[in-house]
Structure 1
């Protein structure tokens, strides 16, 4: 049986990695969620020390975490160089 939690987890893509463009909103680095079915965007809360610029001018690799911060899915920077 599929639970609502399973369906929500699939749409949020927890644990997956994406190359995303970050922008600053309200003092936080955020990105639109790449999955249109996701009810939340992403806020980057870990790995910020890997960034040379804030916000970076190029997309960076973000891994989605299993928690929510300020109404957005938490993410961590795992790669900040060119593809």
Structure 2
């Protein structure tokens, strides 16, 4: 049986990594979710100490976490290169 959690997990891509361009919105670094079926954008909330500039000029690698922050799916900065 498929649960709502299964469907949302697939569309949110929890645990997957993406190269994303970040922008600052409401004091947070945010990116559009790369999955068109995702109902949430991504808020990068971990690993921000790796950034030299905020927001970074180039895309960064972000891993999707399994929690929601300020109405967005949380992400962790994996690489700023």
Q: What is the TM-score of this pair, normalised by structure 1?
A: 0.96
Aligned position for 1:17: 17
Runs of 4+ in structure 1 deviating by more than 4 angstroms, as ranges, are none
In the alignment, which residue of structure 2 is the partner of 1:64? 64
Q: Give the TM-score normalised by the residue count of structure 2.
A: 0.98
What residue in structure 2 maps to residue 54 of structure 1?
54
SS at match of 1:10: helix
Unaligned runs of 5+ in 1: none
In 1, Cα distance between equivalents of 2:15 and 2:74: 11
Runs (5+) with no aligned partner, structure 2: none
Q: Secondary structure at the match of 2:56?
A: coil
SS at match of 1:11: helix
